[in-house]
Amino acid sequence: MAASSLDNLLETESRERSTLRMGEVEALRLVVGVTSDQTCLVLAGRLRALRLAGFHVTVVASPGEMLDQTVAAEGVTAYPIRMKRGIAPISDLLSLLAIVGMLLRVRPAITDFSTPKAGLLGNLAAWALRVPHRVYTLRGLKLESSRGLKLHLLLWLERLSARCAHVVLCNSTSLRDVARAMGIAPVEKLKLLGHGSSNGVDTQRYAPGPAEAREWLIIPQGEPVVGFVGRLTNDKGVPELLVAFEAILRQVPDCWLLLVGWFDGSEDALHEEWRELIAGHPRIRHTGYVKDTAPYYRSMDVMILPTHREGFPNAALEAAASGVPVITTESTGARDAVLSEVTGLLIPPRIPEAIAEAALELLCDEAKRKRMGEAARAWAVERYSHERVLGLAVDFYRETINRRA
């Protein structure tokens, strides 16, 4: 939906349902917190919808360009607090104290913290100050790619974060199932909105259309392109994708690999040899971070997301809405983003041969690609449009306040 149409929809909802038992929605302050400024990308749309619904929204994240861009675009307030992703006791204590200070200053009626570090520190601070309504949004489980003592530590911390919240909002069906199986929270505390997803997808912006990006990427029209969109990290399965691409080239030598995303500096950052391979490969195009990814999806024949773990991958929805079949893994969260053999293909994680086999299956069958792309578009529009997903989010915050009141 266009921005103006979304504005009209949400402003109408706000006028019609503005009165709650605790008073006018306009008087309620909401704090949304994530660890990294880069994670603010997944908040786009949701923050704006809540503001238009009458909430005064403050976003907490580590300082950075993407935090600045997000608050400017969404029309909300920024409160930068530096947080380290890894375990850092002294730094974490300072961040916790800063979050406590922020909450004392803002005095929110409701908090919603997510991502491991912000989820832990934010929910601890909100619990200690007895914020009336506390939400922990589970966007994925980092512990799924951990082993040994670290796994047990991260599991304990997830349980602590969840214990401090009134509600644990899960991003997908499979993520809720895994959280329940791991004992992160009791079943009555684990919630799912609709079919999942943080924001859904703008089905007008992400739609089938001409492959204009091929021109500036210097990729000839008619030559096949497999694409990837997201952070270029180990946990996203980029090394396996690069290995698989060599196998694909042996069968389809005129194929291209389009990587749309940036080299993330997190714990699962790519090793230097992978970066060098990407930079020097004659049939790989790497864009780095781009603000508008829509033209790049339209230049793909197949989108591949060989991720090890997800909450619910936005890239898979964007590709589907663009009419592009998606290959992703059976990992938590990712398996909810594809209807297997209908909108795309599901494969086991961490296996380059499975990536190559699935990609070749679709590259060599144009009719199947077209059929899957059309089904993916219809599925995304029906279940995951901005209007539907953001409307459910606004209703959730209102109902949370009513229920707790």
Task: Determine the CATH number of domain 3-200+385-404.
Answer: 3.40.50.2000
Determine the residue type at 118.
Answer: A
Q: Where are the domains of the chain?
A: 3-200+385-404, 213-383
DSSP state of 129: T
> Phi, psi (5° rounding) for residue 225?
-130, 125
pLDDT computed for residue 7 by the predictor: 54
CA–CA dist 155, 331 (Å, integer): 18
CA–CA dist 160, 184 (Å, integer): 8
Do 146 and 154 contact (CB within 8 A), yes or no? yes
Report helix, strand or coil for 214.
Answer: helix
Do 31 and 102 contact (CB within 8 A), yes or no? yes
Contacts of 72 (CB under 8 A, 6+ apart): none
In this structure, how many other beta carbons lie within 10 angstroms of the beta carbon of residue 168?
24
- Predicted TM-score of the model (pTM): 0.89
The encoded tokens of residue 216 equal 């500036």
Rounded to 5°, the CA angle 300-306-307 comes to 125
Q: Could you read off the pLDDT of 171-205 as tens digits, one per residue?
A: 999 999 999 999 999 999 999 999 999 899 999 99
Please identify every stretch of the chain with a pLDDT value under 50, giving residue numbers as ranges: 1-5, 9-10, 12-26
Do 302 and 227 contact (CB within 8 A), yes or no? yes
Candidates 1.20.140.10, 3.30.365.10, 3.40.50.2000, 3.40.630.30; correct CATH number of 213-383?
3.40.50.2000
pLDDT computed for residue 402 by the predictor: 81
The greatest distance separating any two alpha carbons of the chain, rounded to the nearest whole angstrom, comes to 65
pLDDT computed for residue 17 by the predictor: 42
Q: Could you read off the pLDDT of 134-154 as tens digits, one per residue?
A: 999 999 999 998 889 999 999
**Beta-bridge partner residues of 75:** none
Q: Containing H/E element for 7?
A: helix 3-16
Same fold, 3-200+385-404 and 213-383: yes
